[in-house]
Chains A and B, each alone.
Chain A
Amino acid sequence: KNEVEQSPQNLTAQEGEFITINCSYSVGISALHWLQQHPGGGIVSLFMLSSGKKKHGRLIATINIQEKHSSLHITASHPRDSAVYICAVRETSGSRLTFGEGTQLTVNP
């Protein structure tokens, strides 16, 4: 079992829909990251969370430390949001990031 599990693996939405991607982890963490990767490779850091909720434009990330769960929400989705979204955690005992398998999001016009 992966230490970081994401769901769904694949998600197709229509433009304008509200999207939620989930991340569950099984270890104690010091921080959780949400990353975005477009075709062609480059990774962009969207959020880094250790508690609570963060918002940036149409993106919202939440984390529940007790339940070891985080969600990434996209409001008013747009085709340019199509990308792979990756959850990654830094364990309290470690110096490395542990990545989830990613969620492939496709937003159709």
Chain B
Amino acid sequence: DTEVTQTPKHLVMGMTNKKSLKCEQHMGHRAMYWYKQKAKKPPELMFVYSYEKLSINESVPSRFSPECPNSSLLNLHLHALQPEDSALYLCASSQVGSEKLFFGSGTQLSVL
């Protein structure tokens, strides 16, 4: 299994909603990443988890809250988002220290 699975594929939420994005991989990767991608722009790194511990937070607003409950799962909890947070949210994983990243298909998020 060389897949990174993200759910849901699409999400529409209001600014007062609380929702979560989910990412799962079963490749034994111990590094997992959240990226945000606006239309026609490259991905921007948000968070990195290494061995289930948060190792990088790229000064992301607290309305985005990551969680890594185990080595296969990565969540991104969303609360009180703004319309400008509408974007494609991509999850990726890798072996720790490896260059090769495996990306999921992303969750297209619209905040109304």
Residues of A within 8 A of B (CB): 30-31, 33, 35, 40-45, 48, 86, 88, 90, 95-97, 99-102
Contact = CB atoms under 8 A, between A and B. Distances in A.
Interface in B39-84: 40-43, 45, 48, 56
Interface of B: 37, 40-43, 45, 48, 56, 88, 90, 92, 99-106, 108
Contacts of B42: 86, 88, 99-102
Contacts of B40: 102
Contacts of B100: 45, 48
B99 A90 contact: yes
27 contacts: A30-B99, A33-B99, A33-B101, A35-B103, A41-B88, A41-B90, A41-B105, A41-B106, A42-B106, A43-B43, A43-B92, A43-B103, A45-B102, A48-B100, A88-B42, A95-B48, A95-B56, A96-B45, A96-B56, A97-B45, A97-B101, A99-B42, A99-B43, A100-B42, A101-B41, A102-B40, A102-B42
Q: Is the contact region of chain A dominated by helix, strand, or loop, or is it mixed?
A: strand
A76 B100 CA distance: 27
Given A48-B99, A90-B99, A102-B42, A43 B90 contact: yes
A15 B84 CA distance: 38
Contacts of A40: 105-106
A42 B106 CA distance: 6
B99 A44 contact: no
A97 B43 CA distance: 10
